[in-house]
A and B are shown apart, each in its own frame.
Chain A
Amino acid sequence: MFYRVEPHLLTVGLEQDLDLATAPAVRAALDTLLDRYPDRDVRLDLDAVSFLDSTGLGVVLGRYRRLAASGRTLHLVGVRPAVAAVLTVAGVRQIMTWDPAVLNDGRKRGGVADDGGQLV
């Protein structure tokens, strides 16, 4: 996991797949950062997350709820097609914004439509 602190923004990058095995440690590490840097909106970088299931989504949405309770926002970036498929089925777009993963040359990673949410 990496993070970057700016005046009004905390960026956190996850670097492992999010499932039952990894969820507890990721949840704890995220909460530590969220508490240590209050009053900042959060950008969660999922570019290195190639897999997320409902347990992983529970961690993300749980953080969203914690942040929303104190008026902070959570924005997802680096969302890969496999992760986007899960977010889409769960209806996450109705409550949270996200941007698709991009390749080094600026193109989106394969399979993501222009709205970033749907597999093609």
Chain B
Amino acid sequence: MTEANSFSLDVASHPDNVGLARLAVAALAAGAPFGVPDLEEIRVAVSEAVTNAVQHGYGGRRDGRVRIEATLSQDRLKVVVSDQGRGIEDVALARQAAAGEGERLGLGILFMETFMDHVVVESHPGQGTRVVMEKRVPVAALAADGD
């Protein structure tokens, strides 16, 4: 049986750290019997949350801090991505898929919601944003793993 495991990463709001966060969370998640498509979905969700922190939270500035906390327990993966950037005025509005600026599609939060089982976005304008995402380990895999 999978033992609880976790990490906390504090990274600069640099575009290269989007891939780093993806890699770290996927490596942790690989400790549970997630399927390959599950791991791909986790990668996308983490990428979206960290990208938003860098792009929107800090407006592309690279000197902000983004924290990625990931916890793998017996039945689920929990990922918390937080920044101390500009925050979101209206979270409900932000969650509605609508074209963003330039080539942004307004799909990031939709991807998080589609690919994870549970997504909470908390934000205080001027203080920052915190995204909490959870994905359950497939029940069939848990049963097969139960020794």
Q: Give the contacting residue for A54; candidates B16, B37, B41, B107; CB below 8 A.
A: B107
Residues of A within 8 Å of B36, CB to CB, are 110-111
- Nearest-neighbour CB distance to chain B for A75, whole angstroms, equals 20
Among A10-67, those with CB < 8 Å from B are: 17, 19-21, 27, 51, 53-55, 57-59, 61-62
Determine if B51 is an interface residue (Cβ-Cβ < 8 Å): yes
Residue A86 lies at the interface, judged by CB distance under 8 Å to chain B: yes
- Which residue on B lies nearest to A56, using beta carbons? B47
Chain B contributes a number of interface residues (CB within 8 A of A) equal to: 26
Question: In terms of DSSP, what is the predominant structure of the interface of chain B?
Answer: helix
Is A116 in contact with chain B by the CB < 8 A criterion?
Answer: no
A contact residues, range: 20 to 34
**A81 CB within 8 Å of chain B:** yes
Chain B 22-62 interface mask (CB, 8 Å, partner A; 1/0): 10000000000000110011011001100100110000000
Whether a CB of chain B sits under 8 angstroms from the CB of A82 is: yes
Contact across chains for B103 and A61 when beta carbons are under 8 A apart: yes
Contact yes or no, A53 B111, CB < 8 A: yes
CB-CB under 8 A from B44, the residues of chain A are 51, 53, 82, 85-86
A119 / chain B contacts, CB cutoff of 8 Å? 37
CB proximity of A60 to chain B, nearest CB, Å: 9
Closest to B45 in A: A53
> What 17 additional pairs, Cβ within 8 angstroms, besides A21-B16, A111-B36?
A19-B15, A20-B47, A51-B43, A53-B44, A53-B51, A53-B108, A53-B111, A54-B105, A55-B104, A58-B103, A58-B104, A58-B105, A82-B37, A85-B115, A89-B111, A89-B114, A89-B115
